[in-house]
Amino acid sequence: MKKSLVASVIGAALLGSTAVLAAGVTDAMIEKDASTGNDVLSSGLGTEGQRYSPLKQINAGNVSKLTPAWSMSFGGEKQRGQESQPLVYNGKMFVTASYSRIFAVDVKTGTKLWKYEHRLPDGIMPCCDVVNRGAALYDNLVIFSTLDAQLVALNQDTGEVVWKEKIDDYQAGYSNTAAPLIAKGLLLTGTSGGEFGVVGRVEARDPRTGQLVWVRPTVEGHMGYKYDKAGNKTENGISGTTNKSWPGDLWKTGGASTWLGGTFDNKTGLAYFGTGNPAPWNSHIRPGDNLFSCATVAIDVATGQIKWHYQNTPNDGWDFDGVNEFVTFDGPNGKRLGGKADRNGFFYVLDAENGKLENAFPFVKKVTWASGVDLKTGRPNFVPENRPGDPSKGADGKKGNVVFAAPSFLGGKNQMPMAYSPKTNYFYVPANEWGMDIWNEPITYKKGAAYLGAGFTIKPLNEDYIGAMRAMDPKTGKIVWENKNPAPLWGGVLATGGDLVFYGTPEGYLKAVDSKTGKDLWKFQTGSGVVAPPITWQDGDTQYVAVVSGWGGAVPLWGGEVAKKVNFLEQGGSVWVFKLTK
């Protein structure tokens, strides 16, 4: 076990001598996280990722009285995008920030208790801003990942580093931005870096020590491994079949990174990870389905084996990725189902036990790459003329035919997590309506270099809006209601038992709308764009709502004409907490 002290810890000696140590977060507590309201122990307000709270002190009738309780700035010059979901336990809020920072904050006063700033090397290569999406709690540890592809476990009370482990080589393009997942006593993490030709995978570790337990690659052809307590590894089966869906050696740099993290369902015993785009983007180089890219993989937590997979976009040619969260819920006749709003513009409902497709329908208004999804085969009905052209057959051999595609590669939905309410049985999806001109170019792999083989320009589809919060009925596939927004929506969603849906906008507002109708009920200007998911919890007799504010992420970096429409938005870095006025 590696131990060191952190120079940036604030008041560690004082806290270490006076803090009342909690018993620690247990597996049983994490399993009940979705149904308890006095804390927030996991990303998604429960490992299933429903982002639903049964709390209803704050409700549709009184939310207009919601006012700030406190706000805390992350400080410094390291603003950029803030996509973190805070955690709340034992009187403390744990919130990560850009550039691989994490803070512990007193939940009653907003007083900063300690701060840890990870020392990042020169030359990190994050694809889509220097973001971090949150941490995990286990025992008396708070654990988060870093932009140079490491995991750091800190003492919750002092901020002291308990262990630190390397995931992979940042100089080869690996990074990590997702909140870790605790499932059955294991710490599950993914990898980022699909735009650099990395090999995606899911890792399981002992959360107390950081010791590897198993590794499962998400590119077909790579070997999985399991580890004993001494750190010795043995083979644990190849993922799929080598060269079955990948030509030549392309599987060796195949992408399919698991950069958004996963969910876990205790009823099925399976962890669900979305996998990203195959590398490179130029699909003409890699004929075949290119498993397990652009898919959901269901992994047996006990063994590290892939039990089933469902591929949303075989042979992806648009960077539609597939990392979006798979959220499990109860269907009819006791069937356990899962919903996924994919980057490609379709919403999928699968049997969570076996991956069988139950339903698929668009959740955006314009989809050009496919005419629909065949419910019998589970495969998309491609529109061949809307795939970017083969550059080797172009007029000059340097650029393939340009096509217009919708959605854009930033997706009908991207990193911003949706919510599901078992009270309304609706999914609340932050959707975006945009398209792109896209073309292919010749490309060869070079370690640590961008591995795209494509060019693009993103364009809005409508004059009056890009983003739309949509209530989707997973049974009918219908949009029940929508609430439009001029700028793209890039923050997550919270649904509550008080008939409310909370979400933020790039314009800076945290909003509350009626969960049944979408009617605006309340909003507050946070001072910078909101690109993070809200949370709620109850302390004593008071319910709180919190959200991180700080504009950034992929849109201002990659958004083309859309980025120009929102270039007036200011960066920031703070966490806001709200409660009802008496």
Q: Which residues are catalytic?
A: 319
Half-sphere exposure of 445 (CA within 13 A, CB side): 22
Euclidean distance between CA atoms 363 and 382, whole angstroms: 17
Rg (CA), the chain: 22
Burial class (CB in 10 A: 0-12, 13-18, 19+), 190: buried
Q: Is the dihedral of CA 136, 142, 144, 150 positive or negative?
A: negative
Residue 448: C-alpha distances to residues 127, 171, 216, 277, 445 (Å): 12, 6, 22, 17, 9
Q: How far is the C-alpha of 254 from the C-alpha of 242, rounded, in Å?
A: 12
Q: Provide the phi-psi class of 485: left if phi over 0, else alpha when psi is between -120 and 50, else beta.
A: beta
How many Å apart are CA 136 and CA 86, to the nearest integer?
Answer: 10
Q: Are 302 and 278 in contact (CB under 8 A)?
A: no
Of residues 310, 281, 313, 273, the one with CA closest to residue 294: 313
CA 555 vs CA 226, 355, 454, 491: distances in Å: 38, 32, 18, 12
Does residue 415 contact residue 126 with C-beta atoms inside 8 Å?
no
Q: Measure CA 21 to chain center.
A: 31
Q: Which residue, among 386, 399, 414, has the nearest Cα to 558 in the 3D structure?
A: 414
Q: For residue 47, report the phi and psi dihedrals to the nearest 5 degrees.
A: -65, -20
Q: What pairing do the DSSP bridges indicate for beta strands 201-205 and 212-217?
A: antiparallel
Contact indicator for 86, 546 with CB cutoff of 8 Å: yes
Residue 310: which residues within 8 A CB-CB, separation 6 or more? Answer: 295, 296, 348, 350, 355, 357, 378
